[in-house]
């Protein structure tokens, strides 16, 4: 008489699977491009500029890190040894 609902479901599932496989294949082929460096070797000196640092006040942060290491050193928080008042 008529087609069973299972037959039409398999056809749609096959079309979806084919579309997914095609999309994955195209994505994989698009990723095969040869990488080209965006930064030239002579431009890399600009990344060493202090303005590129995420740290706004390096002197203060080094001091605070020293105090933190001195306080937490007994527990081994940062992997350094020590402890006490932080006068070293």
Spatial separation of the C-alpha atoms in residues 24 and 48, rounded to whole Å: 40
Q: Is residue 87 part of a domain?
A: no
Nearest 5°: phi and psi at 16? -65, -45
Q: Is residue 32 part of a domain?
A: yes
How many structural domains is the chain composed of? 1
pLDDT of residue 5: 54
pTM to 2 decimal places: 0.30
User: Which residues of the chain are under the pLDDT cut of 70?
Assistant: 1-9, 31-35, 37, 73-88
pLDDT of residue 21: 95
Q: Is residue 34 part of a domain?
A: yes
Give me the count of residues in the chain: 88
- Which residue range forms the structural domain that includes residue 36? 5-56
Q: Is residue 84 part of a domain?
A: no
């Amino acid at each position: 008489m008529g087609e069973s609902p299972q037959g039409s479901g398999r056809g749609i599932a096959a079309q979806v699977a084919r579309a997914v496989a095609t999309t994955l294949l195209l994505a994989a082929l698009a990723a095969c491009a040869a990488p080209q460096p965006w930064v030239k070797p002579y431009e890399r000196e600009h990344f060493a500029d202090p303005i590129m640092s995420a740290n706004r006040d390096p002197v203060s942060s080094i001091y605070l890190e020293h105090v933190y290491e001195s306080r937490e050193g007994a527990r081994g928080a940062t992997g350094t040894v020590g402890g006490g008042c932080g006068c070293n």
